[in-house]
Amino acid sequence: MNQNSVPELGSAAGPILEFERRILDQMPTIEHWFRQQWQEHTPPFYGSVDLRNAGFKLAPVDMNLFPGGFNNLSEDALPCAVQAAQVAIERSCPDARKLLLIPESHTRNVFYLQNVARLTQLLASPGLEVRVGSLSPELTKPTSISLPGGDSLTVEPIQRRGDRVGLDGFDPCIVLLNNDLSAGLPPVLHGLDPDQTLLPPLHAGWAVRRKSNHFHCYDEVAADFAALIGADPWTINPLFARCGKVDFREKHGEQCLAFNVESLLRQIGERYRERNIKEKPFVIVKADAGTYGMGIMTVRDPSEVVGLNRKQRNKMAVVKDGMEVTEVIIQEGVPTYETIGAAVAEPVVYMIDRYVVGGFYRVHRDRGIDENLNAPGMEFVPLAFTNPCNVPDTRAEPGASARNRFYVYGVIARLALLAAALELERTAPAPQADLAVLPPAARAGTMAVNP
């Protein structure tokens, strides 16, 4: 793919081009608004956002606070990412010299390890000593792992000393999680010295975090932003609902699922009719906590969630690290009309602090436009994000400029980032509370959910 080329957008591209024009025309207003927002809300250290572009709708469908694909960013994206990391570090711990990076514990995935190596490089470039520590009890001594291209990565066992965490001979100022804590909140990270900055905070981990809380905050951000630029908020915001007590294996909660699927499909259908959109509505049913594209179903009719067979139930019941699914989010499906060659594509935007630092297309040859693409067989195509995503070409014709499409993607991704900032503020435990002793129900679901 040529750096300047933009993936094909299907025939429904019309409305999105008007939307692109509206965003570009109001860029000073938009950037001023973001500056104000970031004065009031602290951005997460980093994040990645999955977007879907349906032509009639452009919306975030997932916000990851432990992004694992930095290795998929273009090399050209590095300098800006380093600069952004510098800002993030200055904000969190200006006196920092040492940073401990805690990756996922399934250390055999070479792509993920390349992500860790890239992150290490990114964080070392602003002048930090970066070392990698594992939460895995099986890792008992420093272990060097060879990577393709001759690089290697050394992972060391984490040590707790009093109220600080570190490695042998290494007492970091910043502890950066690239582990989403699906496996639970590790005791070694409880009650750390406040002078040792843990980023993102523990309650950003999937042991505590809920997608529904995120999208509830996103409702607010999307409404404010749509009002700011005079756009229809639905254009950038997928509807959603939540079922809090589901047990797929025991077939509990199917009624709640069917009810919400039916209700959402009806609401989507109304919006399609109002806007003359000739599509068949669908929803995505997925775990309210968790990631890695596991436990996800595309549903076009309420009957599909009742009487699931054993295979379907097993698929939905457990996600990463054996985490049981009991809470489910039902989200409006946004078809993706972007294709690269014959393959369906969705953009993933990477951010550090409040800056877009790059992105890529997740491409899947064997999936449909209404399916999750985060599945085995996916490929990654770097976005020409540094060509350059923060320098739109305001004179180009709508749709003609990759810069402009990517600038718009960066705006929508930053809306999701802002929602994550609100979410982390609002779900933060009281200073005295110890997250580890709270039952899941008390930790999440405390926020009202949209209809």
Quick one: which H or E segment has residue 35? helix 27-40
Of the candidate spans 27-35, 51-59, 138-146, 336-344, the one that interacts with its own copies by CB under 8 A turns out to be: 27-35
Q: Which two tokens mark 372?
A: 């999750």
User: Mask of contacts with its own copies, 327-356, x by CB under 8 A?
Assistant: ----------------------------x-
- By CB under 8 A, name the one of 227, 306, 391, 433 that touches its own copies: 391
Q: Which residues in the 368-387 window bind its own copies by CB under 8 A?
A: 386
Of the candidate spans 23-31, 222-230, 237-245, 262-270, the one that interacts with its own copies by CB under 8 A turns out to be: 23-31
- By CB under 8 A, name the one of 12, 87, 188, 229 that touches its own copies: 87
CA diameter of the chain: 64
| Residue 154 contacts its own copies per CB under 8 A | no
Nearer to its own copies, 388 or 445 (CB): 388
- By CB under 8 A, name the one of 44, 126, 201, 293 that touches its own copies: 126
Judge whether 253 and 75 are in contact, CB under 8 Å.
Answer: no
State in angstroms the smallest separation of the CB of 69 from its own copies: 19
- By CB under 8 A, name the one of 10, 244, 388, 445 that touches its own copies: 388
Judge whether 268 and 332 are in contact, CB under 8 Å.
Answer: yes
- CA atoms in the 13 A half-sphere facing the CB of 443: 21
Of the candidate spans 24-32, 43-51, 298-306, 441-449, the one that interacts with its own copies by CB under 8 A turns out to be: 24-32
CA distance 45 to 58: 25
Nearer to its own copies, 12 or 87 (CB): 87
Binding-site residue total for its own copies (CB under 8 A)?
Answer: 40
Q: How many CB atoms lie within 10 A of CB 321?
A: 19
Nearer to its own copies, 31 or 193 (CB): 31
| Burial state string for 37-49 with b = 16 or more CB within 10 A and e = fewer than 16 | bbeebebbbbbbb
| Residue 146 contacts its own copies per CB under 8 A | no
| Residue 390 contacts its own copies per CB under 8 A | yes
Long-range contacts of 107-111 (CB under 8 A, 24+ apart): 107/134, 107/136, 107/139, 107/145, 107/155, 110/147, 110/148, 111/69, 111/71
Taken in order 344, 367, 68, 143, the sign of the CA dihedral is negative
State in angstroms the smallest separation of the CB of 37 from its own copies: 11
CA distance 362 to 282: 21
CA distance 377 to 428: 37
| Residue 400 contacts its own copies per CB under 8 A | no
Nearer to its own copies, 78 or 261 (CB): 78
CA distance 312 to 90: 47
Of the candidate spans 32-40, 160-168, 243-251, 290-298, the one that interacts with its own copies by CB under 8 A turns out to be: 32-40
Give alpha helix (H) positions in 296-443.
310-317, 402-426, 440-443
CA distance 79 to 122: 9
Torsion angles phi and psi, residue 123, rounded to 5: -85, -25
| Residue 223 contacts its own copies per CB under 8 A | no
State in angstroms the smallest separation of the CB of 354 from its own copies: 9
Nearer to its own copies, 38 or 380 (CB): 38
State in angstroms the smallest separation of the CB of 17 from its own copies: 21
| Residue 80 contacts its own copies per CB under 8 A | yes
| Residue 128 contacts its own copies per CB under 8 A | yes
Of the candidate spans 127-135, 156-164, 247-255, 365-373, the one that interacts with its own copies by CB under 8 A turns out to be: 127-135
Q: In residues, how long is the chain?
A: 451
| Residue 225 contacts its own copies per CB under 8 A | no
CA distance 273 to 277: 6
Q: Quote the DSSP letter at residue 358.
A: E
State in angstroms the smallest separation of the CB of 406 from its own copies: 11
- By CB under 8 A, name the one of 74, 83, 105, 143 that touches its own copies: 83
Q: Which residues in the 91-110 window bind its own copies by CB under 8 A?
A: 94-97
| Residue 230 contacts its own copies per CB under 8 A | no
Mapped onto helix, strand or coil, the DSSP state of residue 351 is strand
Interface residue list for its own copies (CB under 8 A):
27-32, 34-36, 38-39, 76, 78-80, 82-84, 86-87, 89-90, 94-97, 121, 124-129, 355, 386, 388-392
